[in-house]
Amino acid sequence: MLDINNIEVQRDIGEYNKYCRDKSVLKNNNFFIAIHNNEDTIATGELYIISQRVAKLNIYIEVEGVDKEKVTNLFIDEILYWNPFLKTIYYENGEFENKGFKELKKIHIDDIQPSQLYISKEKLKNVSSWLDSEEKLIIPVLESNGTYISLDGHTRIVQGYINGYENVYIYIDNDSNLEDYRVFIDWCKNANIKSVKDLTKRIISKDEYEIKWNNRCRNYFENIEND
């Protein structure tokens, strides 16, 4: 039996796509992998979000000697990190009830202050393939002086704006610290990005996004580490 303490579950960012059975879950980042000793893929998880509160999880064990129940719990922990608003997750041998699910609030999309300077055209195309209703537009935020700061999901809210959606569903991410995002908010305000509408004017290619946004963020964090 593999030592559960040496197994880590994470949301796949592309490196392990070949293990995904249903490629449709890749489009909305709902493919998860379990890795043993930071090396061997021992299981995969494919998540289907049925509604704002309900999802179904398919787990595929790739090797022998795996405690499926314990691995299932690891998958659920990682899924709830990214989707804390889910209340019920169904899987092969049962269901998990999340007693601490995040409440959702519907607000006008114009009430969002972005914390990101650019949108990748490639990512936007991917989101456009599955974002087909306001109910799927859910993002984490923090509140500051009556303003909701988007912490993640900028591509989703831009596509939502393009789709003509007036509202977005939010949840307060109490695990995040507003001060950690202060510099990104200031970058946006200095660039006159004060709404989702403003961000729709800053859609750039994948290569430009890497240079103008990812590199800028990397340089910022490297400077912090060196101080």
CATH number at residue 25: 3.40.630.30
What pLDDT does 63 receive?
Answer: 87
Q: Which residues contact 181 (CB under 8 A, 6 or more apart)?
A: 115, 142, 149, 151
Q: Taking the CA atoms of the chain, what radius of gyration do you get in angstroms?
A: 19
Q: Residue 183: which domain range?
A: 105-226
Q: Which residues contact 188 (CB under 8 A, 6 or more apart)?
A: 113, 114, 115, 116, 117, 194
Q: Quick: pLDDT tens for 125-141.
A: 999 999 999 999 999 99
What pLDDT does 14 receive?
Answer: 80
19/51 same-domain check: yes
- pTM: predicted TM-score of the whole model, two decimal places: 0.91
Mean pLDDT score of the chain = 94
CATH number at residue 173: 3.90.1530.10
Q: Quick: pLDDT tens for 57-103.
A: 999 998 888 888 999 999 999 999 999 999 999 999 899 999 999 99
In this prediction, residues 148-155 reach a mean pLDDT of: 97
**Which among 73, 97, 121 is the end of a domain?**
97
**Which among 97, 132, 166 is the end of a domain?**
97
